[in-house]
Structure 1
Amino acid sequence: MSESVPYGLDLLHVAFAAGFVLLAGVISVMYNLGLAKRLAVSAIRTALQLGLAGVALSAVFGLENLTLVLLLCLVMILLAGREALKRQSVKVGGTAFDVFLAMTVSAFTVSLIVTGSVIGARPIWTPPVFIPILGMILGNSLNGISLALDRFLTGCVDQRALIETRLSLGATPNEAVQPLVREAVRTGMIPIINSMAIVGIVSMPGIMTGQLLAGADPKDAVLYQIVVMYMLAGSTSISTVISILMLRRRVFTADMALRSDLQHKL
């Protein structure tokens, strides 16, 4: 157990906590939910992924090398984008580039502003500060983008007749899908807005909980959490808007007709 942390953990504590996953598996079996295998795989992936992340972060934090920091950030963005694309029920070519660009612009812009101007870290890419912030931004951007993309593309498929009618009446492609763009961005931003509405009252966010467990002053923990919530609201809105505006042009052909290959995955 670490002496620097009031409530340090070891593998025995983690094994005890795994009992909660086992309980969820028992419930799945009892009610025939078919989730036991997925729970087991997810639990194992959680341990392995976080274990590997810990090893990688220890190396990067220790060396404080800008090249390694950028490489790790690139890997994080690629994995986040891949996960966002996996959740889509409608596939469109070129979406991967849109998602990658949206996440890169949003994550790096907001992370650099927060670490450099708000927190005042020097150098601005200080690994123990920059990488966790980037990770939080990517996690929320992933959810926002995946929800927005799915809402927009599903709407294009389900409302094909309405969109084509608007086009036939003289609307431009952008005008024809503008209601879907608005609804998609709104859908992508709802989760972070809901989180902001209940933070500190119903839920105790991760960064605040972690700082309190590490012995930080509650006032400092609160200030950091407020900064994080505001940061996530901005980054999620930026990444969601960029991804949808870039995707909007991909659902139309060169002659401004809605693509005929837009359909739900079987």
Structure 2
Amino acid sequence: MDSAYIQIGNLELALAALLMLINLGLSAWLRLGLGRQLVLASVRMSVQLLLVGLILEWIFALRNPWVVLLLAMIMGTTAGIAAVGRTGRRFPGIYRNSLLNVLFASFLVTGLAGQGIIRFQPWYDPQYFIPLLGMLLGNALTGISLALDRFMENLVSRRAFIESMLCLGATRWEAAHREVKDAVRTGMIPIINAMMVMGVVSLPGMMTGQILAGADPADAVRYQIVIVFMIAASTALGTLGVVMMSFFSMFSSRHRLLSAQLLRTQSE
């Protein structure tokens, strides 16, 4: 493409920040009480992204595999903790389950796609590895969080039915397979909905960013398709893994529901 890359400076960032006046105006007009939260979220987002930009510039220049892996582990750990933070109920081992599945799904799919499809070299090239992993972590986090929340709420709402099934001789899988399937389905809904309207209703951020940076639209589209398939795969792996680990955590090998372990994180 013959388009020049248009840089955005501090003045342009300041002008973009003025767009938040729309949100603040609506909050004040409708008395939503969101003014402080909007300002705090805007400042926090801007500071975090600017700091990340500086860190990534340093990592891109350094190109050290251990530094890249350290940053990747920090990102994965943060995602695993954040996924649990959005759930209303907890049980012993929930953070471990979330962390293991976020890391496993995101790292596995990034590695397979990075070396089998995109084929960037070296394998730890931060220009590719970190952005790809970040996109997968963000979406896997959402799927895992939704699935965990739905699974635990279903166990509570259908506790009487599940325990009745167990008392009648059903195995733990026979008594709770419906809850497992419903939780996995819930975790997969966001990415499926996004795929259904992508390119018609919405233009994905990565593709838009590449086009704005001067990339050929056809190349940007192909990259975006690969990324979406990667996201769908990692979300499916992470969601299924965390629900199954939670299933085995909440049901004993003797086919009993360990409902005493299910704790509410806020007052009923």
If the length of structure 1 is used for normalisation, what is the TM-score? 0.95
Structure 1, unpaired ranges of 5+: none
Aligned residues: 263
The alpha-carbon distance between structure 1 residues 131 and 251, as it changes in their structure 2 partners (threshold 3 A), is same
- Native 8 Å contact 1:115 1:125 kept in 2: no
CA distance in 2, matches of 1:181, 1:207: 33
2:15 matched residue in structure 1: 16
Partner of 1:260, secondary structure, is: helix
Does the alignment pair 1:201 with 2:200?
yes
Deviations, residues 53-100 of structure 1 (Å, cap 9, x unaligned): 111111111111010001000100111112111100111111111111
The answer (yes or no) to whether the contact 1:205–1:225 under 8 Å persists in 2 is yes
The equivalent residue for 1:225 is 224
The corresponding residue for 1:139 is 138
The RMSD of aligned alpha carbons is: 1.4
Would you say the 8 A contact 2:92–2:261 is kept in 1?
Answer: no
Identical residues among aligned pairs (%): 42
Q: Map Cα deviations across residues 2-50 of structure 1 (whole Å, 9 max, x no partner).
A: xx96221011111111122222122112112122222111111111111
Q: Where does 1:116-265 land on structure 2 (aligned, <5 Å)?
A: 116-253=115-252, 256-264=256-264, 265=266
Say whether the 8 Å CA contact 1:112–1:125 is kept in structure 2: no
CA shift, 1:261, in A, is 4.3
Change (3 A) 1:154 1:5: farther
- How far the C-alpha of 1:161 sits from its partner, in A, is 0.7
1:128-174 Cα deviation digits (max 9, x unpaired): 00110000000100110000000001111111111111111111223
| Residue range with higher mean Cα deviation, 193-202 or 166-175 | 166-175
Q: Distance in 1 between matches of 2:252 and 2:259?
A: 6
Q: Secondary structure at the match of 2:6?
A: coil
Cα separation, 2, equivalents of 1:75 and 1:258: 32
Deviation at 1:248, TM superposition (A): 0.8
The answer on whether the counterparts of 1:157 and 1:263 sit within 8 Å (CA) in structure 2 is no
Aligned letter for 2:233? G
| Contact 1:115–1:121 under 8 Å retained in 2 | yes
1-structure distance, mates of 2:114, 2:139:
18
Runs of 4+ in 1 over 4 A off after TM superposition: none
Structure 2 length-normalised TM: 0.94
Give the equivalent residue in structure 1 for 2:76: 77
Q: Distance in 2 between matches of 1:76 and 1:54?
A: 14
Corresponding residue of 2:105: 106
How far off its partner does 1:175 sit? 2.3
Q: Is there any run of 5+ residues in structure 2 with no aligned partner, and where?
A: none
CA gap of 1:207–1:46, structure 2 versus 1, over 3 A, is: same
Letter in 2 for 1:185: V
1:263 is displaced (CA, Å) by: 4.6
The letter for the 2-side match of 1:121 is F
Whether the 8 Å CA contact 2:154–2:179 is kept in 1: the answer is yes
Range 255-264 or range 183-192, more displaced:
255-264
Q: Given residue 156 of structure 2, which amino acid in structure 1 is its aligned partner?
A: V
**For the Cα contact (< 8 Å) 2:114–2:129, is it kept in 1?**
yes
Range 21-30 or range 132-141, more displaced: 21-30
Q: In the alignment, does 2:89 pair up with 1:93?
A: no
Letter in 1 for 2:136: I
